[in-house]
């Protein structure tokens, strides 16, 4: 302090601090006030000061002394007898507050109800350096004849004072990177974004210090997104922590984990399928999905167009029901596998082909029929259906019955009752058509010939008369 500290016009080199001046001196440029200090009013001022390399002192920061800046001044003494009125009285002991914000690098001084601020840069200080801290006073002015030391006296009471230093918080304390637990299947790659902290400082670096054995893991060093692939033989239910290290620009480090759970593949849990089905050429057939009736909600079905046989049609519903229509001219006996792709909510897929066989129509397989029959004019005759037909076959009365003939058909067994006209001539005949509808929907018409017996009966009567005449003549 032999060079005067920071209290005079010139003092310690490369120093800084806060100065409270309570004495007027005409040689002090900081004391050049507009009014003269006379009478009972004693005014002082405060300011942050910076001493340059040669020790020259200058006021810096906010609220610096200025003859126009009356807010900077305060009365450092008065003649009051009431020191407990809650007001500032310079002649008493008063608190002086000096604080530092490490984030903004701003020093703040508070005294006599006033406030001053200055940055480290304005004070010529560096936060990386260490400094001695001193509280002192001086009675010396700026008169060259007076020694330049800062010796003097001051009234201070540090008992109970608090010196609080709040270091700048490091990035690792301020941030909390992390990852949401993620599920994937054995051998399937999954990407996981860093979601724990969306305000990671720019310039932070992410890395995976060690990858679990058998696993594959990579990380984007700039945003922390990791890409993980578990071994293909990993047992479902396995949970694995992928370690992630975050290095911040200030050199501090955070460590976190990304938990990956291996779950079963839904395609491996279910076996959808279709029972073999048959149909006729050109006839649609519905085939229900019966292999796995309780598939997960959200399962989707699809019939790939490129897999549908030429000439066939196939569609599938949301429930997996398949509708297949073979071409009309397809060869009976043809069997095709209709492809069905099943997509599960977890993204896995299954193939569940449906086997459809085309059989010949029942109309081609069966041959119902009636024997040729004769009857007399106006006399009904019953013609039983003698051919083999499948259960469920239905017989219908035709619409194109020969004029004058009456036909009745039993719909269940096909028995047909035919009555020729009463005026039918000997030798008259009629082809009676009977419509047969098979269970497969096919319809075929069968016809049988019915002959009149009139001519034969007339011939027999003539023979009998001739015999009787011969006997009489004899």
- Predicted confidence at residue 92, as pLDDT, reads 78
> pLDDT-based confidence at 140, cuts 50/70/90?
low
pLDDT at 455 exceeding the cut of 50: no
The total number of residues written for the chain in this structure: 474
pLDDT tens digit sequence for 302-331: 999 999 999 999 999 999 999 999 998 899
Give the CATH number of domain 376-456. Answer: 2.60.40.10
pLDDT at 447 exceeding the cut of 70: no
Mean pLDDT of 97-110: 87
Nearest Cα to Cα of residue 240 among 262, 209, 214, 207: 262
Measured between alpha carbons, how far is 316 from 303 in angstroms, rounded to an integer? 7
- Output b/e per residue, 146-178; b: 16+ Cβ within 10 A: eebebeeeeeeeeeeeeeeeeeeeebbeebebe
Q: Where in the chain is the domain with CATH 2.60.120.200?
A: 1-168
- Predicted confidence at residue 195, as pLDDT, reads 94
**1-168 architecture in CATH?**
Sandwich (2.60)
Render 146-172 in DSSP notation, one character per residue. Answer: S------------TT------PPPPHH
- Predicted confidence at residue 76, as pLDDT, reads 72
- Predicted confidence at residue 178, as pLDDT, reads 96
Topology annotation, domain 171-264: Immunoglobulin-like (2.60.40)
Measured between alpha carbons, how far is 147 from 322 in angstroms, rounded to an integer? 110
Q: Which residues, at least 6 apart from 165, have a Cβ–Cβ distance to it below 8 Å?
A: 100
- Predicted confidence at residue 342, as pLDDT, reads 95
Measured between alpha carbons, how far is 6 from 21 in angstroms, rounded to an integer? 11
> pLDDT-based confidence at 465, cuts 50/70/90?
very low
Which has more confidence, 110 or 446? 110
pLDDT tens digit sequence for 32-90: 443 444 444 577 788 999 999 988 889 999 988 776 666 677 777 777 778 788 888 77
Q: Where in the chain is the domain with CATH 2.60.40.10?
A: 171-264, 267-360, 376-456
- Mean per-residue pLDDT of the chain: 81
Nearest Cα to Cα of residue 451 among 380, 382, 374, 370: 374
pTM of the model: 0.39
pLDDT at 137 exceeding the cut of 70: no
Measured between alpha carbons, how far is 229 from 307 in angstroms, rounded to an integer? 33
- Predicted confidence at residue 166, as pLDDT, reads 54
Topology annotation, domain 267-360: Immunoglobulin-like (2.60.40)
């Amino acid at each position: 302090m032999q060079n005067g500290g920071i209290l005079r016009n010139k003092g310690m080199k490369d120093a800084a601090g806060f100065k409270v001046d309570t004495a007027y001196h005409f040689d002090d440029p900081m004391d050049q006030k507009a009014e003269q200090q006379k009478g009972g009013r004693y005014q002082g001022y405060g300011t942050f000061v910076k001493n340059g390399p040669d020790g020259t002192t200058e006021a810096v920061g906010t609220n610096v002394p200025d003859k126009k800046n009356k807010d900077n001044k305060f009365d450092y003494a008065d003649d009051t007898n009431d020191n407990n009125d809650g007001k500032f009285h310079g002649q008493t002991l008063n608190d002086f507050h000096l604080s530092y914000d490490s984030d903004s690098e701003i020093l703040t001084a508070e005294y006599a109800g006033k406030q001053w601020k200055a940055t480290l840069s304005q004070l010529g200080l560096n936060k990386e350096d260490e400094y001695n801290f001193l509280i002192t006073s001086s009675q010396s002015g700026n008169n060259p004849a007076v020694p330049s030391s800062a010796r003097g006296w001051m009234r201070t009471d540090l008992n109970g004072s608090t010196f609080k230093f709040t270091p700048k918080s490091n990035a690792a304390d301020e941030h909390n990177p992390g990852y949401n637990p993620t599920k994937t299947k054995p051998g399937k790659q999954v990407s996981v974004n860093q979601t724990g902290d969306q305000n990671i400082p720019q310039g932070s670096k992410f890395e995976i210090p060690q990858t679990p054995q058998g696993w594959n893991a990579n990380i984007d060093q700039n945003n922390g997104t990791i890409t993980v692939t578990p071994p293909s033989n990993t047992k479902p239910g396995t949970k694995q922590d992928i370690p992630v290290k975050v290095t911040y620009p200030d050199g501090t480090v955070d460590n976190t984990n990304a938990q990956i759970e291996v779950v079963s593949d839904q395609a491996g849990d279910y076996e959808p399928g279709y029972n073999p089905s048959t149909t006729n050429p050109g006839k649609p057939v519905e085939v229900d999905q019966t292999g796995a009736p309780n598939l997960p909600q959200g399962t989707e079905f699809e019939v790939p167009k490129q897999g549908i046989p030429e000439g066939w049609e196939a569609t599938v519903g949301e429930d997996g029901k398949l509708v297949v229509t073979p071409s009309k001219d397809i060869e009976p006996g043809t069997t095709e596998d209709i492809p069905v792709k099943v997509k599960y909510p977890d993204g896995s897929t299954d193939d569940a082909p449906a086997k459809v066989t085309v059989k010949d129509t029942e109309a081609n397989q069966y041959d119902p029929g009636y024997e040729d029959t004769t009857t007399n004019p106006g006399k009904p005759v019953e013609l039983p259906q003698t051919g083999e037909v499948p259960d469920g076959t239905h017989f219908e009365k035709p619409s194109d019955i020969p004029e004058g003939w009456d036909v009745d058909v039993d719909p269940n067994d096909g028995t047909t009752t035919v009555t020729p006209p009463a005026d039918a001539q000997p030798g008259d005949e009629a082809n009676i058509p009977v419509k047969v509808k098979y269970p497969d929907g096919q319809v075929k018409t069968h016809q049988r010939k019915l002959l009149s017996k009139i001519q034969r009966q007339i011939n027999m009567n003539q023979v009998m008369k001739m015999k009787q005449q011969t006997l009489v003549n004899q």
